[in-house]
Amino acid sequence: MNVQRFFAPTARDALRRVKEALGADAIVLANRSVDGGVEILALPADAAAALARPEVAPPPAPVPTRPAFEAPVPRPVAMPADEADDYTVSLSAGARKAAAEKVWQPFAAKKVPESAMPPAQKPPLAARAAQAAAEFSSPRAGAKPAATALPDPVPQKAEAPQMSPQVMEELQAIRAMIERQLAGFAWGEMARQAPARTLLLGEMLDAGFSAQLARRLIDALPAETELAEGRTLLKNALGRELITLANDADLIDAGGVFALVGPTGVGKTTTTAKLAARCVVRHGADSLALLTTDGYRIGAHEQLRIYGRILGVPVHVVRDAGDLRRTLSELRHKHMVLIDTAGVGQKDRMVAEQAALLNSAGGVVRRLLLLNATSRGDTLDDVVRAYAGPDLVGCVVTKVDEAAALAPALDVMIRNGLECAYIANGQRVPEDLHLANRAWLLHRALRRTAEDAHTLHGNEAGLLMAASNAGRGKGLGENRV
C-alpha cells in the first residue's frame, strides 16, 4: 500500500493537503500531534481495493523434456551466512512478488564444450553440423532473438477486484472513528483561534439549529468577531432569511382556495376553523365555504360541521376528484374556500394520492403545510420533502405552546425557503392563531435556557458536528478527507 505522510501546523491544513494529494475519498490511517503541528498517515482510496484483490494462481508448469545428453549437475556454491542474510533482508516486497509471478522455464543445462565431452557422450557428426549451422544463423548480440518453439503459457483470467462486505464495513467504521477524532482536533483548534465564533456555533447547535445552517452562518462572521456583536449579527442574518407573512391582507384579503395539509395530529381541522373565523370577521360568513376530504377519521366530518354551524358557514364533503371539481365550480363565487384534508404520514404513499386529488382541480388549489413545532428537525425535513410542490405557498407552525425550542422549525423553514404565515399556540378558536412575528420567533429560538440533560458541554458540540455530517460529505470546517 502506498501510505503517505502529511505534516502541517494545524489539523485543518493537514487534511486539506491530504485531500489535494490523494483526493476526496482518501483513507486516513492515523493521526497524531507532533512538535510544531499535526501528522497524518493516509493512502489513496484505490489502495483499499488492493486489499481484497484475489491472487492469480500461476499457470501449470510444463513438463521438462529430457535433454539429448546428460549434463553434469553443477554443484551448488555455498553462500556465506552473512551474504545470505543480506540478500533476504534486501529482497523487497516487490521483488518477492515478481519472483512469485515469474513463469517457470525448463532448466537449461550448462553447456559443456565438445572437446571436454567423453567420446561416448559426443553427438553424431550430423547433429554437430546442424548445431553449428543453427549457431551461425542465430542473431548477433543486441539483435532481437527469434521466437522459441515453446508454447506460450495460457493466460489466466483475472477476476475484477471486489471488496468483501465485512472489509468494507470495517473500513467505514475506522474512517468514521478517525473523522470524529479529527473533528475534535479541529474543534479545539477553532476554539483557540476564534473563541467567540466557536461559542456562537455551540449556542446555535444547543438551541436546535442544524449543523448545516449553523456552519454557514458562522463562517460568514468575521474571524475577530466579539461575542455580543456576533450574537447580534447572527440574529440579523436569521431575520433576513426567515420569510413571514406581513399581514392578513396577503392571505385572508387576497382570498382563493387553500388546502391545509400535513401529517396526522398536527391540527389541520382546528387551524382550518381558526382561519375560517378570521375570514368571517373580515368579510362575513357568505364569503367563505369549508370543504373536507377526510373520510378516514371517525367523526372528522362532524367536527368541521360543528365549527361551520358556529360560524354560519356551509360545509361540503368531497370524496374524489370529480366531487372536488364540481364543488369548486359551484363555489367559484366565494371569496375564500378552505379545504380540510386527511392527515397522512410523510412516509405514506397516500401523500402522492392526496396531491393528485388536489391537482385535479386544475391548479386553483394552493396548499398550506402545517408543521409541528414539537418535532425534531430531521422529522420536519422529511415532512417538507414529502409535501413539496409548486402549489405549496407557505406553512403554519402549530403546537408552539408545547414546544421546548423553536429553532428546528425555523431552521427547516429557512433552509427550504418556506414562508411562515401563522403560528398556532393552543386549541382555542379563533384566539390561538397569530401572524408570524419574526422578532418574537427569533427571540424564542435564540433565548438561552437553564442547563439540563440536553445542554452541550466542552467538545460535545464538535462531536455533534462530526456525527451530523457523517453521511453528508462534509466535516467540521469543510475538512472531510
| Tens digit of each residue's pLDDT (9 = 90 or more) over 236-253 | 999 999 999 888 788 898
Same domain, 175 and 266: no
- Contact predicate 282/249, CB 8 Å: no
Same domain, 320 and 177: no
Quick one: 479 exposed, middle or buried, by C-beta within 10 A (0-12, 13-18, 19+)?
A: buried
Same domain, 411 and 307: yes
Residue with cell 412575528: 437
Among 435, 455, 471, identify where a domain stops: 435
Kindly state whether residue 393 falls inside one of the protein's structural domains: yes
| pLDDT value of residue 286 | 92
| pLDDT value of residue 199 | 86
- Contact predicate 314/291, CB 8 Å: no
Any idea what the CATH number is for the domain that residue 284 is in?
A: 3.40.50.300
For 253, the domain range is 246-435
Same domain, 302 and 389: yes
Residue with cell 494529494: 21
Kindly state whether residue 119 falls inside one of the protein's structural domains: no
Structurally, the chain folds into a number of domains equal to: 2
Same domain, 295 and 414: yes
**CA pair distance 434, 177, nearest whole angstrom:** 47
| pLDDT value of residue 243 | 92
Kindly state whether residue 39 falls inside one of the protein's structural domains: yes
Question: Partners of 339 in the beta sheet?
Answer: 259, 291
How much is the pTM?
A: 0.58
Residues of the chain predicted below pLDDT 50: 67-69, 71-110, 125-126, 129, 132-133, 136-151, 471-481
Kindly state whether residue 344 falls inside one of the protein's structural domains: yes
Kindly state whether residue 342 falls inside one of the protein's structural domains: yes
Same domain, 271 and 396: yes
Among 401, 416, 435, identify where a domain stops: 435
| Residue 209, C-alpha cell as written in the block | 439549529
Same domain, 287 and 183: no
Q: Using one digit for the tens of pLDDT, what is the confidence trace for 182-235?
A: 666 565 566 566 678 888 888 888 888 998 899 899 888 887 888 889 899 999
**Averaged pLDDT score across all residues of the chain:** 75
Same domain, 259 and 169: no
Cα 323 to Cα 293, 296, 303, 388, 453, distances in angstroms: 10, 17, 21, 24, 52
Same domain, 173 and 290: no
Cα 133 to Cα 69, 129, 137, 149, 196, distances in angstroms: 19, 6, 6, 18, 92
Please write down the HEC assignment for all residues of the chain.
CCCEEEEECCHHHHHHHHHHHHCCCCEEEEEEEECCEEEEEEECHHHHHHHCCCCCCCCCCCCCCCCCCCCCCCCCCCCCHHHHHHHHHHCCHHHHHHHHHCCCCCCCCCCCCHHHCCHHHCCCHHHHHHHHHHHHHCCCCCCCCCCCCCCCCCCCCCCCCCCCHHHHHHHHHHHHHHHHHHHHHHHHHHHHHCHHHHHHHHHHHHHCCCHHHHHHHHHCCCCCCCHHHHHHHHHHHHHHHCEECCCHHHCCCCCEEEEEECCCCCCHHHHHHHHHHHHHHHHCHHHEEEEECCCCCCCHHHHHHHHHHHHCCCEEECCCHHHHHHHHHHCCCCCEEEEECCCCCCCCCHHHHHHHHHHCCCCCEEEEEEEECCCCHHHHHHHHHHHCCCCEEEEEEECHHHCCCCHHHHHHHHHHCCEEEEEECCCCCCCCEEECCHHHHHHHHHCCCCCCCCCCCCCHHHHHHHHHCCCCCCCHHHCCC
- Contact predicate 329/382, CB 8 Å: no
Among 417, 435, 453, identify where a domain stops: 435
Kindly state whether residue 414 falls inside one of the protein's structural domains: yes
| pLDDT value of residue 356 | 87
Kindly state whether residue 269 falls inside one of the protein's structural domains: yes
Same domain, 341 and 408: yes
Same domain, 41 and 184: yes
Same domain, 257 and 384: yes
Q: Identify the CA nearest to 424 among candidates 270, 276, 278.
A: 270
- The radius of gyration of the chain's CA atoms, rounded to the nearest angstrom, is 39
Kindly state whether residue 179 falls inside one of the protein's structural domains: yes
Residue with cell 505522510: 5
Q: Phi and psi of 475, rounded to 5°?
A: -120, -175
Q: Identify the CA nearest to 401 among candidates 425, 424, 423, 422.
A: 425
Q: Phi and psi of 143, rounded to 5°?
A: -85, 160
Residue 341 CA from chain centroid, whole number: 34
